[in-house]
Amino acid sequence: MLKSLRVQVLFVIAGFAVILIVQGVLSRASQTLLISSQEQAAQSANEVAVVYELDRNVIDLQRNLLIYSETASQSAQLRFTSLISEVAGDLVAMEALINRHEDAEDYEDLIRRLRTHLDVYEDSFGDVVIARRRQADIAERHVKPGFERLKALVHQPSKVEPAGGQRGNISLLEYHVAVAESLSYQYMAESDARVAEKLKGQFAIITSLASGSSEVDAEIKREATASLKYIAQLGALSGSYVFNVNVVMAGSANEFFYLTRALRELLSIDQAKIDAALLVEAEKNKSRSNLAILASAVVGLLIAYFLIARILRSIRAITLVFRRLHEGEEVVVIPGSDRSDEIGELAEAASAFSEKSGQLRTALSEMQAASLRQELLNQALSLEKEKAEQAVKSKSMFLANMSHEVRTPMNGVMGLINQVLKSELGGKQREYLNKANYSGQVLMGVINDILDFSKIEAGKLSIERVSFSTEKMIDYLISAYALQAQQKNLNFSVNVITSLPTHLLGDPLRINQVLLNLCSNAVKFTDAGGIEVNISFRDTAAGTGLLTIGVVDSGVGISEQQQGRVFDSFAQADGSTSRKFGGTGLGLAIVKQLVELMGGSIDVSSTEGPGSEFLLSLPVGTTGTERALRPVSADIIETHYLAGAGGALLENTQVSDCGLRVTRSSRQLLGALLQRPLEKTAAVKPMILIDLADQDVVEGLRDTLAALTLADYPVGCVTQMQPLGLADYVRSEWGLPVLRHPFSPAQLQDFLAEVWGGSPDASSDASRESAGEALGDLPLDPQFVGHVLVVEDNEVNQVVIGAILSDLGLTYDVAGDGLQAAAAVTSAKHYDLVLMDIQMPNMDGYEATRFLRDNGYADLIICGLSANAMKEDYEKAYREGMNAYLAKPVHIDDVVEIASKYLVPGA
């Protein structure tokens, strides 16, 4: 048990406690001794005080005795008596005090003797009192009357027969009686022998003076003798009490004083003894205390040694071990591991820790080595990454440059083909040129994709946020793909499913690019059926909304496995489609990146066979509450809608947004409607809308249509894009308004207004035809008046642009670079418009523009031309002072737009 450090420490603490207790006991003993010595000293002082009081009282007794013996005063006697009882009290007190003394008998003896002397003293005083009383008695009863009688006798002359001139003897007698009387009083007071002698002498004189024989003399002689006898008695009495006072009582008093001194001596001897005993005891205590202090010091030292040697040193040694382990040193010997107490356990823990730390060190060094390898690998990797990034950048740059370089000559090729196509051509030539034109367009599409892709990869493509018209967006989509769909005998429709704002905030260029790409794929991968573009919109928060566009086709579809890859760059669903349909595999990658750049998302869902749906969600901003579809009349228009058997060609929401309350109808219901006389049904005829899916349907409804027309019902027909000519047929046969897919929201609205009111809504463009109707028309080029300077270094492009300008009725000059352009403008010729290429030798388009602006041509209209079509390129052009900017290849429509804005229209 003692092996435990805890028990050892407890032992040490117990030892300390014992020492503390011993110290306490010793100090208590010393205190007790001190207190008892103080008590003894106080008692001794008390005793000595009583003895001194005794002395004082005895002196007082003596004094009162003398006073009494002199005066016989009553108060002195009373005081004497009280002093006697005080002295007796002192003795009683003394007796009580002396009990503590070992030699109490000696004290008792002394006290007894004192008491004896006190008794004697008291008795003697009693004698003195008696003597004094008798003296007074004799003086009062005998002496004083004797002298009275003597004096009276002396004055009785009749009785005295003076013997011849005896008068002088009488006076003498009187005198001596008076002297004797005075002496007698003196004697009574002092009892002095000489006074007694003098008194006797006086009485002898008195006796001799009364030596006559007269009776008076005889009387005087008798009286004198009697007085002398009484005076002698007085003297004897005085002698006796004076003896008592002076000898007996004085002796007793002396004896008293002697005894009290003896008492004091005894007390002082006893005190000395007590002091000596206390001293001895104090010495003993001191030695015991010293011993205890020594013992404490020894035990303290032992404890300190124990703490240092057994605990602290060991703990320090183990702490050092931990510190060394912490510093990563290897520790072989661990101090204290042979011990079986807590230190031993600590050492054991240190040893375990050391073992673990060894393992940790090994693991750490392995890890460090691994991390070093990792770092080297990382370095190599980042080097490779840098190289790869550099390579990608170089590739992107190369591609961007290449596409730019290819676009410039392509611009020429396409422009020239377009120009030739406008001239008189033979059938074969036109066909070949059309094919060349189509191939050129495909090539331009590929080049544009590569350019976009490179720019996105190089991070140079930024997204705009401007207000754009949703109607225009839909129009553009329809005009771009209706013809292509038609060429493949496909149906194509654009359905605004939920109420769409007329204007939204976003990047119209990129949204169109995405839609065109999706529709292009849909047309490309669909051989039968059709393509539907379904557009919905919902407000998400104030000023923002979500535009959702689904492009649905009935094409080949994409397998589930391939769906995951279609948005990867250069990925095509499979080799065979690539071969069959062509393409670069970049389109969807660009689409996805553009959509993500705009903050949206795109998904595909498809099944091989039935076709695919690409669903696009784009966050957009809203600018107002105006909707693309508005009610065509102030009142609700009751409408009977005979939808096609294969599915309605109009969405419910579309017509209800235009203010129609639609009831789905059937051929029978329409027949029944025709049977009823109108006035019995309603004042206003309901609108009739009929889907005409194909020629068979038209034939089946022939009678109904005729009857409805005859009954003057407001009837409108809706057809799909296919079959071609159906719409024209219906229109010519019954003169009915026909809406043919695809149509924009405004076209739908115009159609309904026409059906209802007989002509399109006056507020809208009355002459607007549905896009499907407009297909195939070749509009005549608009004409303008003006002189244009074409600044272009590429000769082919000079020809192309020149031809476009000529088609628009404009005249032009050509300058080969910026310098020539500056010279031409400053040569005092007037130009209404300058078309300025950007990249040119000698002086580029920016420089030339700056030069012209700096030289006073602030109002000159300058339009930049470049193969670069990025937003920054447009911005830079405006910054450099240009009024407009056209991206190559320059199309006649672009030039028309610029001319309409800045030039006067021609005839």
Note the residues at the interface with ligand ADP (CB under 6 A). 521-522, 525, 553, 555-558, 566, 571-573, 577-578, 583-589, 612
50-53-58-63 Cα dihedral, nearest 10 degrees? -170
CA distance 219 to 149: 9
**C-beta of 558 vs 643, nearer to ligand ADP:** 558
**C-beta of 583 vs 737, nearer to ligand ADP:** 583
CA distance 125 to 547: 150
Q: How many CB atoms lie within 10 A of CB 841?
A: 10
Half-sphere exposure of 394 (CA within 13 A, CB side): 6
* Least distance CB 408 / ligand ADP (angstroms): 23
Cross-strand partners of 739: 718
Helix/strand/coil (H/E/C) assignment for every residue in 81-106: HHHHHHHHHHHHHHHHHHHHCCCHHH
Q: Which of 718, 746, 534 is nearest to 630 (CA)?
A: 746
The DSSP result for 777-845, as a single string, is: --PPPP-EE-EEEEE-S-HHHHHHHHHHHHHTT-EEEEESSHHHHHHHHHTT---SEEEEESS-SSS-H
* Least distance CB 719 / ligand ADP (angstroms): 25
**C-beta of 588 vs 895, nearer to ligand ADP:** 588
CA distance 178 to 173: 8
**C-beta of 128 vs 602, nearer to ligand ADP:** 602
* Least distance CB 578 / ligand ADP (angstroms): 6
Exposure letters 669-694 (e unless 16+ CB within 10 A, then b): ebeebbeeeeeeeeeebbbbbbbbbe
Half-sphere exposure of 337 (CA within 13 A, CB side): 12
Residue with tokens 């009192």: 129
**C-beta of 30 vs 605, nearer to ligand ADP:** 605
Q: What token pair was written down for 724?
A: 């071609």
Q: Where are the beta strands (DSSP E) in 233-341?
A: none
* Least distance CB 611 / ligand ADP (angstroms): 7
* Least distance CB 566 / ligand ADP (angstroms): 4
* Least distance CB 612 / ligand ADP (angstroms): 4
**C-beta of 271 vs 577, nearer to ligand ADP:** 577
Residue with tokens 């030596």: 211
Rg (CA), the chain: 79
* Least distance CB 449 / ligand ADP (angstroms): 7
* Least distance CB 553 / ligand ADP (angstroms): 5
| CA torsion through residues 440, 446, 451, 456, sign | positive
* Least distance CB 594 / ligand ADP (angstroms): 12
* Least distance CB 595 / ligand ADP (angstroms): 13
Residue ranges of the alpha helices (H) in 658-711?
Answer: 667-675, 678-681, 695-700, 702-710
CA distance 658 to 651: 11
* Least distance CB 526 / ligand ADP (angstroms): 7
CA distance 133 to 139: 10
* Least distance CB 569 / ligand ADP (angstroms): 8
The DSSP result for 874-890, as a single string, is: HHHHHHTT-SEEEESSP
The DSSP result for 183-196, as a single string, is: HHHHHHHH--HHHH
Q: How many CB atoms lie within 10 A of CB 270?
A: 21
**C-beta of 214 vs 526, nearer to ligand ADP:** 526
- Give the DSSP H or E segment for 231: helix 215-243
* Least distance CB 573 / ligand ADP (angstroms): 3
